[in-house]
Structures are given as C-alpha cells and as structure tokens.
C-alpha cells in the first residue's frame, strides 16, 4: 500500500496531522507494507519569500482580528500540537514555500524526504527559523541527509524540481483536494484534514481489506512462472 | 499514478517486458505523472548462488529437451528481445537472485533502482556476467550509482533489505501474481506478462480516466485551505 500526503510546510494541521497519521500507522497491523510519499501543496503560492512578515500579523490581517486575538488562536493550535508531543511556538515567519517543496523533491530522489519534511516542520513551528534564507535551508537540508552538492544545485537553480512541485499540485486539484493535509491511500481513498490517529488506522485497515486488483485481459502472456518461461512460437 | 512491476532478474520476459512497458509509457500523454517502482520476485528462491550452472543446461533438464533444442528456444527469445532493441546472448548462468533483489531495494532507497535494474538485466542477458560473484555485483551496483559504502554494507550483511524483498514477494502472492513480469497500476489494475507496448499504453489511459478517489467521511476537518486554517474551539 502507498499513502500520499499532500501538505505545506506552512500548514499547522499538516504538522500535527503528520504526527497523528504516524500514530495511526504505528497501530496498523500491516504497517510494514505501507510506503509514504509526501506531495507538494502551496497554501499561498503568491507569498513573498519568508523574510519579515510575522505569521501573527498575517493572521490578524487575514481574519480581521487583533494581534492578541491572533495570539490566542495560535495558542489553541499550540495546545493541540502539544497533545501530539510537538513543539509549537509563536513567532514564525510567513512566506513562500516553493523552494522548500523543491528541496523535498530532491530529498525524495535521495531517500531522505520524510526526514527533511520533519526538519522543515521543526524549523518552522518549533524554532521559527527564517526559511527565506537559503543558507538556513541548506543547513536544514544537509542536516536531514541531502548531499551538499545536491542542496547547492537545487538552491542555485530555481527550475530544479519545479516541474515535480507543479505536477503534485495539479494532481491534488484533479483528486479533489481543496485544502491540506490531504491523505490518499492507493489512489482509492482520500482523507481530508489532520484527523485523529484512529481515523487513519481504520482507513488503512479498510483499504487493506478491500485491496482487489483487477487483472486486465491481455493477449498471449509472455511470462515466467514456477513451471518456466513461455517460449515464442511454441 | 504509480506502476509497480514485480520481476526477477533471471526472467527474460521481465527484461523484454520492461522495455515494452517503457515504450507504452513513452506513448502515454500523462507519462509525467507516472512513478515506477520495481518489486522483488524470485522465480527460483531455492536456486544456488549463480556460479557454474549454465542456463542452457538448466533449460534442457527442466523441459526434458536436448541442448540443441534449448539453444533454439533461447534463440527465439533472443529474436524477440532484438525486436525491442535489446541484446540477448546465450551463455548466461542460472542462480539465486536474492542478493540482487536486496541491492535493488538499496537502490530504491538511494534513488537509483531503475538504473540498477537495467544494469543487472544487461549484465545477465547481454553480457552473461557471473552474478554470483559479490565483486561483480558491487561493481554493477556502484556503476549504477549506489554509494560504495551502501553496496559494501548490503553485500556484507545478508539481512540487509531481506525483509523488504520478502514483503514484496508476499504482496505479489496476495495480489494474485503467479508469474512475472506482473504490472500493477495504482493497486487497481494488474497486467500479467511482457505485453506489447500498446497494451500498457491503453491500460495507463484507462487507469487515468477512471481515477476517482473516494473521500472517506471523517469528523471535524482540521485543515488549512485558501481561506486559512481551522482554529480549535472556534
């Protein structure tokens, strides 16, 4: 089985939802057969590079609330995060995540995608690091296991893995995702939002029980099996 | 979309089927959205390490034919391979492929699985190299891009990636595969055998058209979207 998770590093419910999904997965009997792939989704593709817009100011403007009210909203999210054992501090910076998604695709190609996503989440939500600074991105990426040369290449070339990010985003739209996190099991079942662990466990269970591959009819099977291989013209 | 291909390096139809699948994929309009994963399948798990049993002798014994008849069978497969632009020479060695599958899983973790499988096929069918020799396996694996340290680790430790190989084989059985190559699209459609490229193209087309993810009902969606993020207790 394969689970694809569309998410954005800027999305608190993706950060929390990842931990909940992993708890659900850990409780699933056939967890060893599950592969997880992270897919790109930008909540705010037009955001500037993350430099000096505080999320608290962005929230206050977006929801038309005071800074104190924005702080209270964030505090409630922080409590929810804490219940999953996740650090969550106010003070993070709002900004574009395209380069982070490109690096996550490089991470996928090098087998370190999951570790890199965890590192980005931690840097953003627990440490409020300035993710608009290429030197910071480089340090995080290399720390998560991306080869230095590859990190440098991706950061220097804004086209690197850009196609892959766009393809993920197009697929999210085609599959009907309007927000994130969005979880898709074997391209058959979708789950929207950072649901409780038990919801994920049950969905995995259901997908596992209902796995049924339809064998398409085809011509002469040129196949090898227990009794040997088909021989042409025989 | 994702295509999983169960195959064995010892299987001529897997070698030929891979080329045909790739031709079908190249002709599929949405090929950019397709990921390919190679899965382990051993046709003869009890085979000894490949050292000194010629495939021609094995075939003659298995089918109860003369060595000349086995050569004629192989020649017909070679013609079919040549039609796909693949080198195929007699003289290869029969033997166990478990270590090769373990290396392919290491290749997957390092993003070089497809290149490594091509290299193994070439070494076996076009070059008849002795794949029972760890030094040969190391050379091929490193040549395909597996880091030297990882190749050494996997070859030195027979438990490395053994679980992954066994899991693939269990899944093949669960999905109803009795021989290889066995192609599975998005865990929904299965295709058995090294079919013509057009069969693969049509199957990809069909799977693409019929993609429909069922969104599972769930509780309060803790989600972020265009209009911001859900706030707990609000």
Q: Is the confidence at residue A50, as pLDDT, over 80?
A: no
Q: DSSP 3-state assignment of A136?
A: helix
Rg for chain B (alpha carbons), in Å? Answer: 21
Mean pLDDT over all residues of chain A? 92
- CA A27-A32-A35 angle, 5° bins: 100
Rounded CA separation A115/A72 (Å): 31
Q: How confident is the model at residue A219 (pLDDT cuts 50, 70, 90)?
A: low
Torsion of CA B104, B105, B108, B114, to 10 degrees: 20
Tell me which residue in B110, B176, B220 faces A110 most closely, judged by beta carbons.
Answer: B110
Residue B227, both tokens: 């209009």
The DSSP line for A166-232 is HHHHHHHHHTT--EESEEEETTTEEEESS--HHHHHHHHHHHHHT--PEEPP-SS---EETTEE--T
Q: DSSP 3-state assignment of B177?
A: coil
Residue A40: inside a domain: yes
- Per CB-CB distance under 8 Å, the chain A contacts of B191 are 215-216, 218
Tell me which residue in B63, B189, B214 faces A214 most closely, judged by beta carbons.
Answer: B189
Torsion of CA A24, A29, A35, A41, to 10 degrees: -20
Q: Is A76 on the interface with B (CB under 8 A)?
A: yes
Which carries the bigger pLDDT value, residue A176 or residue A24? Answer: A24
Q: What is the pLDDT of residues A117-126, one digit of tens each?
A: 999 999 999 9
Q: What is the pLDDT averaged over residues A48-61? A: 85
Start-to-end Cα distance in chain B: 38
Residue B223: inside a domain: no
Rounded CA separation B46/A226 (Å): 12
Rounded CA separation A43/A164 (Å): 17
- Scanning A46-112, the segments in alpha helix (DSSP H) are 55-63, 67-83, 98-109
Report CA A54 to chain centroid distance, whole Å: 23
Tell me which residue in B196, B214, B233 faces A188 most closely, judged by beta carbons.
Answer: B214
Helix (H) or strand (E) holding A142: helix A134-143
Domain containing A46 — which CATH number?
3.40.30.10
Domain count, chain A: 1
Q: Is A149 on the interface with B (CB under 8 A)?
A: no
Indicate the pairing of strand A224-225 with strand B179-180.
antiparallel
pTM here? 0.76
Instruction: Determine the residue among A125, A175, A213 to mutate to test chain B binding: the one whose Cβ has the most chain B Cβ atoms within 10 Å.
Output: A213
Which domain covers residue B155, as residue numbers? Answer: 2-211
Q: What is the pLDDT averaged over residues A176-202? A: 92
So what's the pLDDT on residue A214?
A: 79
Rounded CA separation B210/B213 (Å): 10
Residue B219: inside a domain: no
So what's the pLDDT on residue A234?
A: 58
Residue B232: inside a domain: no
Instruction: Give B73 to chain A, closest Cα distance, Å.
Output: 6
Residue B199: inside a domain: yes
So what's the pLDDT on residue A188?
A: 87
Q: Is B214 on the interface with A (CB under 8 A)?
A: yes
Q: What is the pLDDT averaged over residues A14-43? A: 95
The DSSP line for B45-103 is TTPPPSSSEEHHHHHHHHHT--HHHHHHHHHHHHHHHHHTT----S--EE---HHHHHH
- Per CB-CB distance under 8 Å, the chain B contacts of A81 are none
Residue A84: inside a domain: yes
Q: Is B156 on the interface with A (CB under 8 A)?
A: no
Residue B165: closest C-alpha in chain A:
A33
Contact yes or no for B77 and A232 at CB 8 A: yes
Contacts 24+ apart (CB under 8 A), A60-66: A62/B228, A63/B228
Q: What is the pLDDT averaged over residues A141-157? A: 98
Report CA B201 to chain centroid distance, whole Å: 18
A-B C-beta contacts closer than 8 Å: 204
Residue B202: inside a domain: yes
Start-to-end Cα distance in chain A: 38
Indicate the pairing of strand B2-7 with strand B189-192.
unpaired
Rounded CA separation A141/A208 (Å): 34
Residue B35: inside a domain: yes
Q: Which of residues 97-116 of A touch B (CB under 8 A)?
A: 108-111
E-strand ranges in chain B read 2-7, 35-40, 53-54, 93-94, 179-180, 182-185, 189-192, 214-215, 224-225, 228-229
Q: Dmax of chain A from CA atoms?
A: 81
Q: Is A223 on the interface with B (CB under 8 A)?
A: yes
Q: How confident is the model at residue A48 (pLDDT cuts 50, 70, 90)?
A: confident
Q: Is B1 on the interface with A (CB under 8 A)?
A: yes
Contact yes or no for A213 and B176 at CB 8 A: yes
Q: Evaluate whether B201 touches B31 at the Cβ level (below 8 Å).
A: no
* pLDDT averaged per 10 residues, chain B (length 234): 95 96 96 93 88 86 91 93 94 92 96 97 96 95 97 98 95 88 92 93 91 73 82 70
Q: What percent of chain A has pLDDT over 70?
A: 97
Within a 13 Å sphere around the CA of A200, how many CA atoms are in the beta-carbon half?
29
So what's the pLDDT on residue A90?
A: 83
């Amino acid at each position: 089985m394969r689970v694809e998770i569309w998410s954005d590093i800027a999305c608190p419910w993706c950060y929390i939802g990842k931990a909940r999904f992993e708890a659900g997965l850990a409780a699933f009997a056939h967890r060893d057969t599950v592969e997880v792939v992270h897919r790109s989704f930008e909540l705010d593709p037009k955001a500037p590079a993350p430099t000096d817009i505080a999320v608290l100011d962005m929230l206050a403007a977006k929801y038309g609330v005071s800074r104190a009210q924005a702080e209270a909203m964030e505090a409630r999210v922080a409590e929810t995060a804490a219940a999953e054992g996740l650090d969550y501090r106010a003070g993070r910076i709002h900004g574009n995540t395209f380069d982070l998604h490109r690096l996550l695709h490089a991470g996928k190609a090098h087998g370190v995608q999951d570790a890199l996503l965890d590192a980005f989440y931690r840097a953003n939500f627990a440490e409020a690091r300035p993710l608009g600074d290429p030197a910071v991105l480089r340090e995080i990426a290399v720390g998560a296991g991306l080869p230095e040369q590859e990190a440098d290449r991706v950061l220097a070339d804004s086209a690197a893995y850009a196609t892959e990010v766009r393809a993920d985003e197009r697929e999210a739209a085609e599959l009907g995702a309007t927000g994130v996190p969005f979880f898709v099991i074997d391209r058959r079942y979708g789950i929207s939002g950072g649901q409780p662990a038990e919801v994920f466990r049950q969905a995995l269970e259901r997908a596992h029980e209902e796995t049924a591959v339809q064998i398409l009819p085809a011509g002469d099977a040129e196949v090898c099996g227990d009794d040997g291989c088909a021989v042409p013209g025989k």
